[in-house]
Amino acid sequence: MGYKARDVEVAFLQEGVCIVVSCDSCGAIGSKELDVVSVPANLTGRFTARVALLEVMASGARPEVITVAISSEPEPTGSNIIGGVRAELLAAGLEHVKLVVSTEKNVPTSQTGLGVSVVGSCDISNLRLGKSEIGDWIYGLGKPKVGSEVNDPDDPEIVRIEHLLKLLKNGAVHDLIPVGSRGIRSECELVAREIQGRIEYDLNCPVPLEKSAGPSTVLIFTTRHTIQEFDFGSLPFYRVGRILENV
């Protein structure tokens, strides 16, 4: 049996246990000749890994295995991408995660292509999917950034795994949703639709709701708590809106 929820797939293996799988792809972003966005290959690896890790961890699962499919030669592009993946695992305290890697060894390539998948395990009782309720507030963390705007994994304006871990420890938080190319509004509408609700958006929300958040530079979450009960330092933190009953 399986369960498809947002950007992850959940498979129930035995009573009380499930695996959660996510994947992310990245094309034409890197250090190759024909890449559209030019960045060091290690950043390509790091941000692509971050996306897939955030999706699995936001569901309540613990990452166990990460696969890295690189459509480029092993050296130097492949090793640089892998270095970025390892750096993200280290920064997130996930050194235990096993890596499975494949690179292109048959033909030369002139453009970066990368696919990353993460497999996590979880007790079903700890699964955090579909927890939002009518009346919940929706808050956003991080500023939507995409393409050449994304050039520093420690950018103080974007979400990192450490911020997700902080929210996972808060029992008042319901759903945690990394935001990528669909943008904040699309993710909010999906949350509301799942519980037959609607969103009343905060007219003073300081970020563009339709803009792509690239490699999950934004995280939204639902809760009954007010915004004053959370503290994320200098990271952009704002109220997006509230889930109301459909009328």
CA-CA distance, 107 to 109, in Å (whole number)?
6
State mean pLDDT over 161-171: 94
Helix 161-168 and helix 41-58, axial crossing angle in degrees, nearest 10: 10
61 torsion bin: left (phi>0), alpha (psi -120 to 50), beta (else): beta
Label residue 2 by pLDDT band (50, 70, 90): very low
State mean pLDDT over 50-72: 98
All domains of the chain, ordered by start, with CATH?
2-126 (3.30.1330.10), 137-245 (3.30.70.1670)
| Percent of the chain surpassing pLDDT 90 | 89
Label residue 206 by pLDDT band (50, 70, 90): very high
Label residue 5 by pLDDT band (50, 70, 90): low
Which pLDDT score, from 0 to 100, does residue 227 have? Answer: 79
